[in-house]
Amino acid sequence: MAIVSPTSPTPVSARPVPTDAPRRARTTALLALLVGALLVSALAAAGSGQLAIPLAEVAGSFLHRLGLDIGPLPTHPRGDATLWTIRFPRVVMAMLVGAALAVAGAVMQGVFGNPLAEPSIVGVSSGAAVAAASSIVLGLTFAGTWTIAVCAFVGGLVTTLAVYGLSRADGRTEVVTLVLTGIAVNAVAAAGLGLLMFLGDTQAREQIVFWQLGSLNGSRWQYVGVVAPLVALGIMASLLSARSLDLLALGERQARHLGVHVERLRIFLVVVVALLTAAAVSFCGIVAFVGLVVPHLVRMVTGPGHRVLLPASMVAGALVLVVADLGARTLVAYADLPIGMLTSLVGGPFFFWLLRRTRRSAGGWS
């Protein structure tokens, strides 16, 4: 039996073992809080509008559709139809778009190794929107209801590859190059949208304006059926790449020594980002800054590990967009504000703060 004097070192067996239990507890609590807040927000969003429906009746209608005889049904004669034809599709679409944009932002930040990377800032959303608007003006229908999503995917993929290639210098991505490339791509995309508005008819112009402002108005189950599998595929691919993203954060050389094929991983994740962005903008237009704000807020609690960051960002992104869409529908009576405008009002100042913070921490542009 070892005797420890006040001046002798503590035996190895008696020293406390470092543990990540506090961080795991915080992460579990955060996920539980986010999921609970998302469920409450979804019910509140479904029950809010010109026809107000109590939360208990919203929940009762949902449970009855699942075959569970629990809770009251809507008392208003049009309440059930309003929920299932208008409100629920819009809430589900908000969840899908928010989750897709948040995960795409987190993945882009990991791929570029840059805290300023986000689909709308570097022009990926704009490129996808231009391709989708082109399909509208040209009347393309080669893939049926998937035509707009396919065109948006191609536009987002081409834009992402262009940004990736132009922002690389000497084996690394520079902050200033990334931002300036995004500015240039957004300018070209804005010009393209303006040209399409000039060439299109009145209906096409209205749809292009819809793209520029972003809105969940008009969401229907058939659109959800197109967006949902794309978002599910993109998020699943992102989650499966979480460990590789963690290794990439150590540096390219270290990641290669640990068995990561860096360029192959980057190209694969660029395609995943394009897929998620295309799914988000295909029917809802450009919704900016969700992919920038959400991952940073989540990272402050969970840390940089992508195996926790990605699922937490997914739930948080869905929550943010559900709340934003609720505000878009209720802040002004009898009006539906563009949701992209609301997210930009919050995300713009956050981006400015992050830009200055990154510059200070890097000791200048790097």
Give the pLDDT confidence score for residue 19 in this predicted structure. 52
Give the pLDDT confidence score for residue 106 in this predicted structure. 94
For 122-143, the pLDDT digits (tens) are: 778 888 888 988 988 988 888 8
Assign 3-class secondary structure to 133-160.
HHHHHHCCCCCHHHHHHHHHHHHHHHHH
Give the pLDDT confidence score for residue 314 in this predicted structure. 96
* Count of CB atoms situated within 10 Å of the CB of 342: 20
* Residue located via tokens 């009762």: 60
Per-residue pLDDT band for 243 (boundaries 50, 70, 90) equals very high
* Residue located via tokens 């569970």: 68
- The structural domains of the chain, ordered by start, are 54-60+70-361 (1.10.3470.10)
Q: Which pTM was predicted?
A: 0.84
Per-residue pLDDT band for 360 (boundaries 50, 70, 90) equals low
Give the pLDDT confidence score for residue 114 in this predicted structure. 76
Q: Report whether 319 contacts 97 (CB < 8 A).
A: no
Per-residue pLDDT band for 172 (boundaries 50, 70, 90) equals low
Per-residue pLDDT band for 308 (boundaries 50, 70, 90) equals very high
d(CA 27, CA 32): 9
Q: How far does the chain reach from its first CA to its final CA, in angstroms?
A: 57
- Range with the poorest average pLDDT among 15-19, 160-164, 195-199, 227-231: 15-19
Question: What single letter denotes the amino acid at residue 366?
Answer: S
More confident position, 114 or 264: 264
* Residue located via tokens 């405008």: 341
For 328-341, the pLDDT digits (tens) are: 988 888 788 888 88
Record the tokens describing residue 160, joined without a space: 């992402």
- Beta bridge partners of residue 352, listed in sequence order: none
Per-residue pLDDT band for 311 (boundaries 50, 70, 90) equals very high
Q: Report whether 179 contacts 354 (CB < 8 A).
A: no
Question: What are the distances in angstroms from CA 4 to CA 17, 164, 165, 246, 317?
Answer: 18, 59, 61, 41, 53
Give the pLDDT confidence score for residue 358 in this predicted structure. 65
Q: Report whether 104 contacts 277 (CB < 8 A).
A: yes
Q: Give me the helices (H) in the chain, please.
A: 21-47, 55-65, 79-82, 88-112, 124-138, 147-167, 175-199, 202-213, 221-240, 242-248, 252-257, 262-281, 290-302, 306-330, 339-362
d(CA 312, CA 93): 18
Question: What single letter denotes the amino acid at residue 33?
Answer: L
Q: Quick one: how far is CA 220 from the chain centroid?
A: 20
Q: How wide is the angle at C-alpha 271 spanned by C-alphas 229 and 34, nearest 5°?
A: 55
For 44-97, the pLDDT digits (tens) are: 999 988 888 999 999 999 998 888 888 888 888 888 889 999 999 999 999 999
d(CA 211, CA 197): 11
pLDDT surpassing 70 at residue 24: yes
Residues 141, 146, 150, 156, CA torsion sign: positive
Give the pLDDT confidence score for residue 10 in this predicted structure. 47
Phi, psi of 55 (to 5 degrees): -60, -40
Q: Report whether 169 contacts 181 (CB < 8 A).
A: no
Record the tokens describing residue 319, joined without a space: 């929550």
Largest CA-CA distance found in the chain, in angstroms, rounded: 89
Per-residue pLDDT band for 361 (boundaries 50, 70, 90) equals low
Q: Which of 283, 180, 185, 183 is nearest to 230 (CA)?
A: 283
Please state, rounded to an integer, the average pLDDT across all residues of the chain: 83
pLDDT surpassing 70 at residue 220: yes
